[in-house]
C-alpha cells in the first residue's frame, strides 16, 4: 500500500521518535534506496562509520535496521517510510540486495514455523491431570474470595454509603488485595475502581451505587455460574479475572475473516504498563472487535494496526457472550486508507446499539460507538454531539471535544469513540473527506 505521512507518524513508538524519523526522510542521507511491492530498503548515513542498513516489510509492517537503537521502528526505518510516503519517486523500484532477501526469507521461514502446531508434551495424560488439579485449586480460592466479597458488600450497604468519603484508602485497598490473593484479579480491579468515586464530585452516590450493583451482579452470577449458558459463563469468568491463553483463543475461539476497518486507538498508562486498545469493525457485517496490546513503559506498542486504514485479516475472538476482544491471527494484504466511518444514523440509534450490547454483557464497561452526521456543540463549557434532530450525546471531558469542533467547523461529521454509559470519549472523526485520529491517552 501507499503509506501516507500521517500513517507513518502513527507507527512511531513515541512522538520524539516520529520527529527524529521525519528528519531522516531526506534522500541525501540515503544510498542504495530501492523498493518492491512488498518491501523497501536503503543504507542511511548515521553517526557510525558504516551506514546503517534499513529495510521494511511494507505489508505487516515489520522492520530491520543495523543501528543500535532499541526503539521499534527506529528513526531510520521511520525515515525510510516517511521518504516513501512523501517522495515515492525518490525510491526506485528494483531487486532487493542479498541482505534484504536474507531477511525476508528468514521472516517467511519464521512465519511458517509459527503456523505449525507446537510439539505435544511427553506425557499428555500426566500434564492434563496436573493442569486440572491447578485449575480446581484456583476455582476453590476464587469461590472463597467471592463469598468474602459478598460479605464485605453486605456490610457496606448495611452501614450506608454516606460515610464513605471519610473512609481511609485501606477501606478499599484491603478487599482489593484480598481478591488478588484469591486469584480473582478482575474483582480486585472492580473493587479498586470504587475507591475514587466518593471523591468524584456531585452525583457520586448514583455512580457508586451503579458500580456496586454491577459488582453484586458479578458475585451473584459467579455463585451460580454452572447454571449459566456457556457464552455468559465465559464472559463472567473474564470479569472475575480468568484469562485465556493466546493458543486457546487461536485454536478454540471463533474465527472471522473479512475486511477490517481500523477505526480508533487509545493508549492508557498505569504505573508499570501501557495498554493500547485498537477498535476494528468488519466492513460487511459491521461487527466490532477490540485488539489489546500491552507494553512496559519504555517499550513500543504494536503499531501494525493503523487507525484510518483497513485490511483483510482473520481475527480470533475470545469466548464471551458479547465477543469483542480478539487476536489478529492472519492478515493477507496491505492496508488501504479508509473511505469513511460507518455508524448509527442518530443519537437514539447509537444508544440502542449500546443497550443491545449491554443486554449481551451486563458488565460491559466501554463499548465502541460510531455516529454519523453530528455537529459538536459547546454547552456550559462542555462539548456534546448534536444529531440532525438536535438530540445530544455528551463527550467525556478533555481536549478531544475542541479538536472535534475544529475539524467540524460547525458542519456535520462522523465520530467514532468509546461510550462508557454516560459519555463518549472520541477516538477518531471523519470530516470533509478526511480521517482524523483524535488523541486519547490517559
Cβ–Cβ under 8 Å, residues 280 and 288: yes
Rounded to the nearest whole angstrom, what is the least distance from the CB of residue 406 to other proteins in the complex?
4
Which of 43, 387 has the CB closer to other proteins? 387
Q: CA–CA separation, 11 vs 42, rounded Å?
A: 19
Instruction: Give the single-character DSSP code of 88.
Output: G
Q: How far is CA 233 from CA 92, 122, 239, in A?
A: 56, 32, 10
Determine if 355 is a binding residue for other proteins (CB under 8 A): yes
The span of 61-69, 211-219, 315-323, 330-338 binding other proteins (CB under 8 A) equals 211-219
Which of 124, 201, 202, 390 touches other proteins by CB under 8 A? 390
Which of 384, 415, 427, 440 touches other proteins by CB under 8 A? 384
Q: How far is CA 41 from CA 20, 137, 159, 180, 303, in A?
A: 18, 53, 68, 48, 19
Question: Could you say which residues in the range 142-161 bind other proteins, by CB under 8 A?
Answer: 153-154, 157-161
Which of 387, 396, 414, 418 touches other proteins by CB under 8 A? 387
Determine if 209 is a binding residue for other proteins (CB under 8 A): yes
SS3 assignment for 394-420: EECCCCHHHHHHHHHCCCCEEEEEEEC
Rounded to the nearest whole angstrom, what is the least distance from the CB of residue 125 to other proteins in the complex?
43
Residue 128, burial from CB neighbour count under 10 angstroms (0-12, 13-18, 19+): exposed
Which of 67, 305, 375, 395 touches other proteins by CB under 8 A? 375
Determine if 431 is a binding residue for other proteins (CB under 8 A): yes
Site string for other proteins, 179-208 (x = CB under 8 A): --------------------------xx--
Please give the grid coordinates belonging to residue 143: 469461590
Which of 166, 227, 285, 389 touches other proteins by CB under 8 A? 389
Q: How far is CA 7 from CA 92, 150, 338, 350, 352, in A?
A: 21, 48, 12, 28, 33
Site string for other proteins, 213-252 (x = CB under 8 A): xx-xx--x--------------------------------
Three-state DSSP class for residue 116: coil
**Within 10 A of 94 (CB to CB), how many other CB atoms are there?**
12
The span of 58-66, 113-121, 174-182, 374-382 binding other proteins (CB under 8 A) equals 374-382
**Within 10 A of 93 (CB to CB), how many other CB atoms are there?**
9
Which of 183, 309 has the CB closer to other proteins? 309
Cβ–Cβ under 8 Å, residues 276 and 267: yes
Rounded to the nearest whole angstrom, what is the least distance from the CB of residue 369 to other proteins in the complex?
12
Determine if 433 is a binding residue for other proteins (CB under 8 A): no
Cβ–Cβ under 8 Å, residues 414 and 340: yes
Which of 421, 442 has the CB closer to other proteins? 421
Question: Could you say which residues in the range 16-55 bind other proteins, by CB under 8 A?
Answer: 16, 18-19, 22-23, 25-26
Give the bridge partners for 290, in sequence order. 279, 325
Q: CA–CA separation, 176 vs 189, rounded Å?
A: 7
Which of 9, 84, 176, 306 touches other proteins by CB under 8 A? 9
Which of 52, 82, 279, 317 touches other proteins by CB under 8 A? 82
Which of 166, 389 has the CB closer to other proteins? 389
Instruction: Mention every residue, 6+ apart, whose C-beta is less than 8 A from residue 84.
Output: 2, 3, 35, 40, 58, 91
Determine if 6 is a binding residue for other proteins (CB under 8 A): yes
The residues that touch other proteins, with contacts defined as CB under 8 A, are 4-6, 9, 15-16, 18-19, 22-23, 25-26, 82, 86, 153-154, 157-162, 205-206, 209-214, 216-217, 220, 347-348, 351, 354-355, 358-359, 362, 375, 377-379, 384, 386-394, 399, 402-403, 405-407, 409-411, 421-422, 431, 436, 438
Amino acid at each position: 500500500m501507499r503509506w501516507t505521512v500521517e500513517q507513518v507518524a502513527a507507527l512511531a513508538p513515541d512522538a520524539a521518535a516520529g520527529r527524529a524519523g521525519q528528519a531522516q526522510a531526506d534522500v541525501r542521507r540515503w544510498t542504495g534506496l530501492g523498493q518492491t511491492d512488498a518491501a523497501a530498503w536503503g543504507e542511511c548515513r548515521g553517526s557510525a562509520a558504516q551506514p546503517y542498513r534499513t529495510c521494511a516489510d511494507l505489508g505487516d509492517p515489520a522492520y530491520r535496521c543495523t543501528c543500535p537503537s532499541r526503539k521499534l521502528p527506529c528513526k531510520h526505518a521511520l525515515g525510510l517510510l516517511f521518504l516513501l510516503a512523501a517522495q515515492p519517486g525518490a525510491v526506485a523500484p528494483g531487486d532487493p540486495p542479498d541482505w534484504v532477501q536474507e531477511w525476508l526469507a528468514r521472516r517467511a521461514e519464521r512465519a511458517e514455523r509459527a503456523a505449525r502446531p507446537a510439539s505435544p508434551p511427553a506425557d499428555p495424560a500426566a500434564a492434563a491431570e496436573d493442569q486440572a488439579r491447578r485449575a480446581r485449586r484456583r476455582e476453590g480460592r476464587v469461590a472463597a474470595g467471592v463469598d468474602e466479597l459478598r460479605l464485605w458488600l453486605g456490610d457496606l450497604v448495611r452501614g450506608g454509603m454516606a460515610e464513605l468519603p471519610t473512609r481511609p484508602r485501606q477501606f478499599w485497598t484491603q478487599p482489593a488485595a484480598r481478591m488478588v490473593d484469591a486469584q480473582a484479579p478482575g474483582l480486585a480491579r472492580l473493587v479498586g475502581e470504587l475507591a475514587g468515586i466518593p471523591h468524584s464530585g456531585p452525583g457520586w452516590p448514583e455512580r457508586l451505587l451503579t458500580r456496586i450493583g454491577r459488582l453484586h451482579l458479578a458475585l451473584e452470577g459467579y455463585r451460580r455460574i454452572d447454571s449459566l449458558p456457556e457464552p455468559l459463563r465465559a464472559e463472567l469468568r473474564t470479569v472475575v479475572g480468568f484469562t485465556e491463553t493466546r493458543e486457546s483463543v487461536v485454536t478454540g475461539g471463533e474465527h472471522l475473516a473479512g475486511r477490517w476497518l481500523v477505526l480508533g486507538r487509545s493508549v492508557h498508562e498505569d504505573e508499570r504498563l501501557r495498554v493500547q486498545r485498537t477498535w476494528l469493525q468488519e466492513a460487511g457485517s459491521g461487527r466490532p472487535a477490540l485488539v489489546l496490546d500491552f507494553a512496559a513503559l519504555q517499550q513500543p506498542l504494536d503499531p501494525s494496526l493503523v487507525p484510518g486504514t483497513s485490511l483483510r485479516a482473520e481475527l480470533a475472538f475470545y469466548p464471551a457472550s458479547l465477543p469483542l476482544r480478539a487476536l489478529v491471527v492472519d492478515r493477507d494484504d496491505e492496508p488501504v486508507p479508509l473511505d469513511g466511518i460507518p455508524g448509527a444514523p442518530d443519537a437514539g440509534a447509537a444508544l440502542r446499539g449500546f443497550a443491545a450490547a449491554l443486554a449481551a454483557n451486563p458488565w460491559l464497561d466501554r463499548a465502541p460507538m460510531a455516529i454519523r452526521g453530528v455537529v459538536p456543540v459547546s454547552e456550559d463549557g462542555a462539548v456534546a454531539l448534536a444529531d440532525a434532530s438536535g438530540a445530544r450525546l455528551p463527550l467525556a471531558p478533555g481536549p478531544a471535544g475542541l479538536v472535534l469542533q475544529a475539524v467540524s467547523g460547525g458542519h456535520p461529521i462522523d465520530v467514532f469513540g468509546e461510550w462508557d454509559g454516560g459519555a463518549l470519549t472520541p477516538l477518531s472523526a471523519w470530516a470533509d473527506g478526511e480521517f482524523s485520529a483524535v488523541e486519547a491517552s490517559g
